[in-house]
Amino acid sequence: MKLHIKKNDVVKVLSGKDKGKEGMVLAVYPKTYTALVQGINMKTKHIKKKDNEAGKKELKEMPILLNKLMVIDVSSNHTPSRIGRRLNSNGKLQRYCIKTKNFI
């Protein structure tokens, strides 16, 4: 299955507690249809103490569903847009923003 979001894309969150926030995609997991986005869906992770270190809590990004994300076209004033595929000048399929018609 082809996904509309890839690693290093800038995306906007459409729903949930982080609605309206933007971030860069760190990883995409096609089997679970989720992505890891920088600074989005932060959860507290409790880390058990080790030999010489005390236990601690740290904030960590957790995966978010891909249908809650929309790709942002960075070249045209950060406008969120739906993604399509069409042939480029070399004859290969390439992603493009439907709103601005620019290749990503």
Comparing 2-11, 18-27, 40-49, 69-78, the range with the smallest average pLDDT is 69-78
Which pLDDT value is given to residue 104?
Answer: 83
pTM of the predicted model as reported, rounded to 2 decimal places: 0.84
Average pLDDT in the chain: 92
- Domains along the sequence of the chain with CATH: 10-48+57-77 (2.30.30.30)
Confidence check: pLDDT of 67 > 90: yes
Cβ-based burial of 30 (10 A; exposed 0-12, middle 13-18, buried ≥19): exposed
Cα–Cα distance measured from residue 87 to residue 25, given in angstroms and rounded to the nearest whole number: 25
Which pLDDT value is given to residue 35?
Answer: 97
C-beta separation of 62 from 35 below 8 A: no
Confidence check: pLDDT of 78 > 80: no
15-61 confidence digits (pLDDT tens): 999 999 999 999 999 999 999 999 999 999 999 999 899 999 999 99
Residue at 79: amino acid letter: T
Cα–Cα distance measured from residue 84 to residue 71, given in angstroms and rounded to the nearest whole number: 11
| % of the chain exceeding 70 in pLDDT | 99
Q: Of 80, 13, 40, whose CA–CA distance to 104 is shortest?
A: 80
